[in-house]
Chains A and B, each alone.
Chain A
């Protein structure tokens, strides 16, 4: 079966004023794939993510989500496209003035016709998926960093999005929590068929969950490797790729 690309990036260039961060980026993410955007700190991974999720307009190039050009769509169309995305931010980005329950309920209130009782049930279910059953009435400030991240994931999954974007999901987590999150990511892909794009430089997670990947380079300011992370490790002859994937300074 030929897998259709859900997300396509064509000739993308990102820059802050005259300072080009990355240029001529071309890649695609297939439906149901876990795609990793790798690269060293400061290479522009998070900036690329901001371009993909509609927070920052690229200097040049196109972002196609389900065949629709994100940055050429009308504001209403773009809002519709991005409301079908789920985003997990680095620190969860939970709305601090709302309880966890309210955080998850808000997208449901905005974009579904569910009644109050149904919303409460969905909220409880989503929280239980990430191991936070019973935490509906807690505020983000009352729970740990790892729990905030999981609650952020529950909110990202609230509307059963077609595609999930994760910004450094393992950052700041202990090894067990990080492993649990990896398992959860795999589970989401396998059970829901979700397409997942992860920005990360945590090698263990990359090798555990990644189906496909790109490696961004700070010096070249573009993609220097494309392919499944395990394949890149086995077959790449580029010393920069091997250095990154084996944590070596040469």
Chain B
């Protein structure tokens, strides 16, 4: 928007010095002129004083104030005395307020001018600090486990049962839905290929093995990362913001024992159970596809799984689920305890907890698969 500056101000030379005549409406809505041009004009006149004539000024808001602050600051820098008493009373008071507490030296942050090397250094320091936090967290967790096995861990069993209820029975519906659908997908994919060879019955092997060794544990873990891991990070993060974690520390109670332990134990207990349930529901999903599309009866399907998918495969999945439970709980709780003191850091902690959990689940799954191959399980 172009602004006609002559409608807003005019510089006049008088016997008393330079006078700035302000006129019309000085509001954000009607646009505020850039003060730079006027400042150049004033400085080129090299006046000793600058006064104001505000008789034509109709209305004003903070737009005029910012214009005047910029003008006064430039005049002060160039030894031009500004006669603020020639301004209306309200403007004088606001100017007095804005200049009353001068900006503290070193307050302004100079982010843009930071050299690349300094940025790398800062990121490295931050990573180092984060790594130290993680090590300290793991150390405290180990001490907590030690205390737990000695029967000295300090947490409330009511909290443990509550966390088990939240992580277990409350998650059944979503685990059912996802597992049945994964079973159906596996069966569909298998059926489309195996039908070519007339080997439709092996769809049962595919679904049974897939659910037992991989998908049951993996899908449960991913659901729990999004559900419980995120909830843990948000809960502990909010407690951090509200100083509730500090209140535990100042009582000499370890937040790791009191808050992390019930959550960790809850997932260690519920994840294998949910995994068994997910395995079964996935197999049921496969059975539905076999019965409706491949003319394989439920009996044939389950018989095939019983014959060709031995319990060891289910055991591998269950052990994986327990390990994934540890990873989800520790990621969620660690990110929550690491949270800053603002609402946005709770959001960041939650996102970070889910991402960390999922990455760790996949890495751990790969490692366990390789180990199982090596030991022939």
Contact = CB atoms under 8 A, between A and B. Distances in A.
Partners in one complex: yes
Interface of A: 50, 53-55, 78-80, 82-83, 85, 87, 89-91, 93-97, 106-107, 110-111, 155, 218-219, 249
B243 A90 contact: yes
B8 interface: no
Interface string B232-244: 0000001100111
Interface residues of B, number: 17
Interface of B: 100, 104, 154, 159, 238-239, 242-244, 246-253
A219 B101 CA distance: 12
A97 B234 CA distance: 13
Given A110-B154, A249-B100, A96 B244 contact: yes
B243 A89 contact: yes
A93 B242 contact: yes
Contact of B252 (A82, A93, A219): A82
Contacts of B248: 95
B100 A83 contact: no
A91 B100 contact: no
B106 to A, nearest CB: 9
A107 to B, nearest CB: 6
Contacts, number: 54
Contacts of A85: 250
Contact of A53 (B239, B244, B250): B250
A110 B253 contact: yes
Contacts of B252: 78-80, 82-83, 110-111
B244 A95 contact: yes
A85 B104 CA distance: 36
A87 B250 contact: yes
A159 B238 CA distance: 26
Contacts of B246: 50, 55, 87, 89, 93
Among the interface residues A78, A110, A155, which one has the most CB atoms of the partner chain B within 10 A?
A110
A97 B244 CA distance: 10
Contacts of B242: 91, 93, 96
B249 A55 contact: yes
A110 B251 contact: yes
A91 B341 CA distance: 13
Given A93-B246, A94-B244, A96-B244, A107 B239 contact: no
Contacts of B244: 93-96
Contacts of A54: 249-250
Among the interface residues A53, A91, A93, A96, which one has the most CB atoms of the partner chain B within 10 A?
A93
Nearest to B245: A93
B243 A96 contact: no
A79 B100 CA distance: 46
A116 B175 CA distance: 40
A216 to B, nearest CB: 15
Nearest to B246: A55
Contacts of A82: 249-252
Contacts of B104: 218-219
A78 B239 CA distance: 23
B82 to A, nearest CB: 21
Contacts of B243: 89-91, 93
B100 A55 contact: no
Given A89-B247, A96-B238, 5 more contacts: A79-B252, A80-B252, A82-B250, A95-B239, A219-B104
Nearest to A86: B250
A18 to B, nearest CB: 11
24 contacts: A53-B250, A54-B249, A54-B250, A82-B249, A82-B251, A82-B252, A83-B251, A85-B250, A87-B246, A87-B247, A89-B246, A91-B242, A93-B242, A93-B247, A95-B239, A95-B244, A95-B247, A96-B239, A96-B242, A96-B244, A97-B159, A106-B251, A106-B253, A110-B154
